[in-house]
Structure 1
């Protein structure tokens, strides 16, 4: 089995205070970087009998979460970078899944849930889950014919 896990995530600031160069930098890291690494490793992945690509995303990439007044993410501060880049990463995941389905390569996005990291330290609520707890990626060991093109939260449920 050959597994590629793409994980990156610089944060940002409110849209009205964000320079275009900052948005470009975060998109370069969270989206273009994933594209470059994935494309570079595709020859190796295609030679594997059971290749998996897991893009580490976030629930903040969900448009539904941000527009649902009942969801806590709708109350998060506005940002022109991290949520935007994770939404784009989710779409890139779907596009790779469509392209690579015929090669037997399963491509999914994993949202490990909120973890206590530098990214979450200034939120208006406490997150106590450790980064190590969030690192478990069951999508890396899916059986052949398993799901592809999905977005799985920390409970293993597909959510877009």
Structure 2
């Protein structure tokens, strides 16, 4: 028969849970919802481990995106509370980083579901356009469109403070 579910699953979870939780958080905007979403995705991965053991991360990411999309469809949108970090006294600019992260997270929350998923998978998870297209079950052109529109909306929401660095020639790099 197939491989025992727990054999490589434990190693997969130990190695990839942190990155998958970050993706889930960026997709949901809420730490607790992200943990629930990841738990559901990992449960699906575990149940299908013998069939997906060759590419469990792709399956897990797809489960995260589908779960987040279903969450958006089923629930009315309500304001989400930002995640509050514990203060690290060794970090001199901790407040600045927390404030910056809150601004970026709020801007991400304002994106439509598909644009948000595309931006998170493409730029935070560093997946290729083809991988994102496969995960979202759409064409590469659609991924490019969602990414372009999502980034444009983020630039507008974040304002001039967060513009890309300007090269010495005066053009954006």
Q: TM-score higher than 0.5 here? A: no
Structure exhibiting the larger radius of gyration computed from Cα positions: 2
Q: What is the TM-score normalised by the length of structure 2?
A: 0.27
Greater per-residue helix proportion: 2
Greater per-residue strand proportion: 1
Q: What is the TM-score normalised by the length of structure 1?
A: 0.28
